[in-house]
Amino acid sequence: MNVLNRTGSRTMMQLMTLLSSVTISVALVGCGGGGSSNAPAVGPPFQVGTTNHDANLPPEPTLPTDDQVCAKLEARNNLVTRPDGALPPESDPSVPGVGVAVDPVKVNPDQARIQAALDACGTAVNAEVGTAIGDADAAATAVQVAAAVPNKNIAGASGEELAKPKYRATKFAVRLVVNGSGPGNAFISGPLTLPSGVTLWIDKGVTLVASRDVIAYSPNKAGPYCGNTAVSATRAGSSSNCLPLIGGDFLVNSAVVGDGSIDSRGYAEIVTTNKSYPIMKVDLTCSNTYVAYASGLQAADGTSCDNGGTVVDSKSSVRNMTWWDLAYLGNLVENGTTGTASQSNFRMMVFNYAKNLTLYRVLLNNSANFHMVPSGIDGLTVWGVKLQTPSLAAFANPAGNGNPLYTGATFNSDNVKNTDAFDPGSASRAVSSKLTTGSTTTSARAISFDGYLKNVVFAFNYVSTGDDDIVLKGSNNPSPSGSGLPGVDGDRDARSDRKWGIIIAHNHIYWGHGISIGSETNAGVRNVHVYDNSFDDSEEGLRIKSDYARGGEVSNIYYDNICIRNATNALLYTPYYSTRPLPSAGPLIPNFHDIYLNNVSIQGKTGVKLQGFAANTGGFNNPAYPLVMTLNNVVTDSPASVEVISSDANLTLNGVNLPIFASTDRRIVVNGAATQALNPANVLDCSKAFVDFPSPTSPFGTTWPPVQ
């Protein structure tokens, strides 16, 4: 079998070691030598979805203890969620048809007290361990400078070193709890800053709900402005115009944990506590212009909007847009027409530069934009998290009509746009910065961050959303100029408590675009291990995407023991993701090679796209970069129901029944041969791979489990 390791020679023994280490009873199935298409199984097939311990992973995170809590905040008794997870409209009302909040205190009652508790905890953490962290960083930096390691950024103390107990404070958690004397179980908050060393603990039964007040996310009268699809006639909106619900930069040992939930309410009507702030209406008019708002004025009715709307109609009585209305309008309507639109919606979580950032067990719902965007993180752990967008709360509406988009369509997997679940990536450069110890304070000493994404674990999560589920983005390269090092590399500084540096394992994926790499691949992505994952009704399963406006090299990507059911595209590998304008210097060429699929079961009608980069694409005199991929025991239960699009590919097949054939015209070279004479049951056991989403607020409810 022709499969490679990091240095070019991954062996059968290494594959067997990988599979056997995942669970007690694992066997490599159907890996016969000599290109055999129907080799006998060695032991029972691996059973996806049953692993509860994995020696390849670091230890599971834990919740704080009561003794480690800096502050405990109780929910207010006037904020009580319904069984579907929604807050009733009287919780934070607005004037009907106007969208101005009736009471500023009600629309954002908890931001100040939560932030005050986080700030106090951050100050205490810094007082206890700030000096130790600074000393460790200075010592490590001195050693690195003296060693003069070529092509290596100055990273300071590693995340592995700073994970030791001596760098963690005695008390470090702010705990949100249900009211002890009444029914209160929710907090409404605007943007929060997570300090270094602090854990936000959302307790069982508690929901942290995002404020609907656009002013909270766009506090500056001069901009940038949030809640639009454009900020001028030629400039698109951007999520960077909005503060995130939870943000944090320059952190060590920070976390968001608990068995409660966060609901960003992307489905909710946007309101404002400043009636002059421009709001777009569902009839596409706007209430004011940003030019007038910045000057404290009201634009005359009929004035052209500058937020993506048509004209000012200050007397319009129709409802305001929701965040998801803006996303649909900007991405699928305006951007498709003009190419210059995108929503300015707030993200749920944004973190830049951290060592040891953890998300554990919490339920995330209904982000207005991406749910979690961590960039330049050494030690990112997302474990046991449930993320579902849209949740049952999104379908609640006082009119009883399913809370549709402004178009009248109800929410589905295709119209809740840009609600990516997890988008980790590399940062643009190495930095030395003081730690964030509170919303307005920093540490006395700076520490170093090299900007790479490394030591990443996504494990035991349940993810369903309207866009990418888990996607690695190599958009930035913090390496020294000319080093050629990728921005995302699983082999970079891999820690001793895990087998590999980037692991995506034991996850259940539902709606969304599956486990992806790209489309930002220009800085490179390599050495990624994806295994024991299931995909049920996802738009895509396994995907690598880029285009020649971005380019980049993606290599040494290993997929093992994957179950895919009823996906639109089970496998999608393409360098033609978009036709974005090329950079001024000319096209950037995507190059996907050394991609390995081993033990993949595909069920139901689906598509497969296997494309490399053709020579002279777009008329440019560029060489070909074929997709180089090995498929071992990649089997569908209905070979006649799979449609394969392929071109410019060098493919090695063993135990494959997909309709993949060599072609001179399409420049496809095949080593081995596909055959329909395969029994899927001999390859992989998917009988326990597909389970209902484990939340009472799932709009899909529960079904009978599969017959065992």
Is residue 595 within 8 A of residue 544, CB to CB? The reply is yes
pLDDT band at 57 (very low <50, low <70, confident <90, very high): very high
Q: Say which amino acid occupies 610.
A: L
The arithmetic mean of pLDDT across residues 271-292, rounded, is: 95
User: For the purposes of burial, counting CB atoms within 10 Å of the CB of 318, is it exposed (0-12), middle (13-18) or buried (19 or more)?
Assistant: middle
Among 193-202, 328-337, 582-591, the minimum mean pLDDT is found in 328-337
Looking at the DSSP assignment, which residues form a beta bridge with residue 596?
558, 630
Q: Say which amino acid occupies 422.
A: F
- Which of 338, 357, 373 terminates a domain? The answer is 338
Structural domain includes residue 407:
no
pLDDT band at 707 (very low <50, low <70, confident <90, very high): low
Q: What is the pLDDT of residues 501-541, one digit of tens each?
A: 999 999 999 999 999 999 988 889 999 999 999 999 999 99
pLDDT at 381 over 80: yes
Nearest CA to 206 out of 67, 374, 72 is that of 72
Instruction: Give the whole-angstrom CA distance, residue 690 versus residue 696.
Output: 17
Q: What is the pLDDT of residues 680-696, one digit of tens each?
A: 888 899 999 999 999 99
pLDDT computed for residue 404 by the predictor: 83
pLDDT computed for residue 11 by the predictor: 39
pLDDT band at 14 (very low <50, low <70, confident <90, very high): very low
Helix (H, G, I), strand (E, B) or coil at 470: strand
Instruction: Give the whole-angstrom CA distance, residue 540 versus residue 608.
Output: 10
pLDDT band at 25 (very low <50, low <70, confident <90, very high): very low
pLDDT at 189 over 70: yes
Helix (H, G, I), strand (E, B) or coil at 220: coil
- Pick the more confident residue, 90 or 375: 375
pLDDT at 26 over 90: no
**H-helix or E-strand containing 124?**
helix 111-147
pLDDT computed for residue 337 by the predictor: 59
pLDDT at 7 over 70: no
The arithmetic mean of pLDDT across residues 69-93, rounded, is: 95
pLDDT at 244 over 80: yes
pLDDT computed for residue 266 by the predictor: 96
pLDDT computed for residue 22 by the predictor: 40
Residues present in the chain in total: 708
The arithmetic mean of pLDDT across residues 186-203, rounded, is: 98
Instruction: Give the whole-angstrom CA distance, residue 540 versus residue 571.
Output: 7
CATH number at residue 520: 2.160.20.10
User: For the purposes of burial, counting CB atoms within 10 Å of the CB of 22, is it exposed (0-12), middle (13-18) or buried (19 or more)?
Assistant: buried
Q: Say which amino acid occupies 415.
A: N
Token digits of residue 24: 């007690």
- Which of 306, 338, 370 terminates a domain? The answer is 338
Instruction: Give the whole-angstrom CA distance, residue 359 versus residue 422.
Output: 11
Which residue has tokens 């589920």?
469
Structural domain includes residue 589:
yes
Which residue has tokens 């060489």?
623
Is residue 230 within 8 A of residue 334, CB to CB? The reply is yes
Token digits of residue 387: 């993320």
> What is the rounded average pLDDT for all residues in the chain?
90
Q: What is the pLDDT of residues 539-573, one digit of tens each?
A: 999 999 998 888 899 999 999 999 999 999 999 99
Q: Say which amino acid occupies 251.
A: L
Phi, psi at 418, each rounded to 5° = 55, 35
Q: What is the pLDDT of residues 346-379, one digit of tens each?
A: 999 999 999 999 999 999 999 999 999 999 999 9
Number of other CB atoms surrounding residue 583 within 10 Å: 13
pLDDT band at 147 (very low <50, low <70, confident <90, very high): confident
pLDDT at 41 over 60: no
CA 62 vs CA 65, 163, 167, 330: distances in Å: 9, 13, 17, 40
Is residue 488 within 8 A of residue 523, CB to CB? The reply is yes
Omega of the bond leading into 278 within 30 degrees of 0 (cis): no
State the Cα torsion 680-681-683-684 to the nearest 10°: 110
How is residue 703 annotated by DSSP? -
Token digits of residue 38: 């129907």
The number of domains in the chain is 2
Instruction: Give the whole-angstrom CA distance, residue 423 versus residue 463.
Output: 13
pLDDT at 255 over 70: yes
pLDDT band at 477 (very low <50, low <70, confident <90, very high): confident
pLDDT computed for residue 10 by the predictor: 41
The Cα angle at residue 312 between residues 310 and 313, in degrees rounded to 5:
115
Structural domain includes residue 512:
yes
Q: What is the pLDDT of residues 410-420, one digit of tens each?
A: 888 888 989 99
The arithmetic mean of pLDDT across residues 322-332, rounded, is: 92
Number of other CB atoms surrounding residue 181 within 10 Å: 7
CA 41 vs CA 11, 35, 44, 45, 352: distances in Å: 18, 15, 7, 8, 46
Among 38-52, 391-405, 605-619, the minimum mean pLDDT is found in 38-52
pLDDT at 63 over 50: yes
The Cα angle at residue 455 between residues 157 and 242, in degrees rounded to 5:
90
Q: Note the helical H segments in 577-665.
A: none
pTM of the model: 0.93
Phi, psi at 662, each rounded to 5° = -65, 150
User: For the purposes of burial, counting CB atoms within 10 Å of the CB of 333, is it exposed (0-12), middle (13-18) or buried (19 or more)?
Assistant: middle
pLDDT computed for residue 583 by the predictor: 80
Instruction: Give the whole-angstrom CA distance, residue 286 versus residue 51.
Output: 53
Token digits of residue 112: 């100040």
Instruction: Give the whole-angstrom CA distance, residue 52 versus residue 687.
Output: 16
Q: Say which amino acid occupies 639.
A: P
Structural domain includes residue 366:
no
pLDDT computed for residue 705 by the predictor: 79
- Which of 338, 364, 393 terminates a domain? The answer is 338
CA 536 vs CA 436, 470, 570, 635, 693: distances in Å: 40, 15, 10, 16, 10
Among 19-23, 24-28, 123-127, 237-241, the minimum mean pLDDT is found in 24-28
Structural domain includes residue 659:
yes
Number of other CB atoms surrounding residue 619 within 10 Å: 7
Structural domain includes residue 644:
yes
State the Cα torsion 370-262-228-465 to the nearest 10°: 40
pLDDT at 484 over 80: no
pLDDT computed for residue 36 by the predictor: 29
Among 56-70, 306-320, 557-571, the minimum mean pLDDT is found in 306-320
Instruction: Give the whole-angstrom CA distance, residue 257 versus residue 259.
Output: 7
Structural domain includes residue 393:
no
pLDDT computed for residue 414 by the predictor: 83
The arithmetic mean of pLDDT across residues 237-243, rounded, is: 94
pLDDT band at 102 (very low <50, low <70, confident <90, very high): confident
Instruction: Give the whole-angstrom CA distance, residue 491 versus residue 499.
Output: 10
Instruction: Give the whole-angstrom CA distance, residue 108 versus residue 225.
Output: 19
% of residues, the chain, pLDDT over 70:
90
Structural domain includes residue 207:
yes
Q: What is the pLDDT of residues 607-637, one digit of tens each?
A: 999 999 999 888 888 889 999 999 999 999 9
| Domain coverage including residue 653 | 486-694
pLDDT computed for residue 636 by the predictor: 97
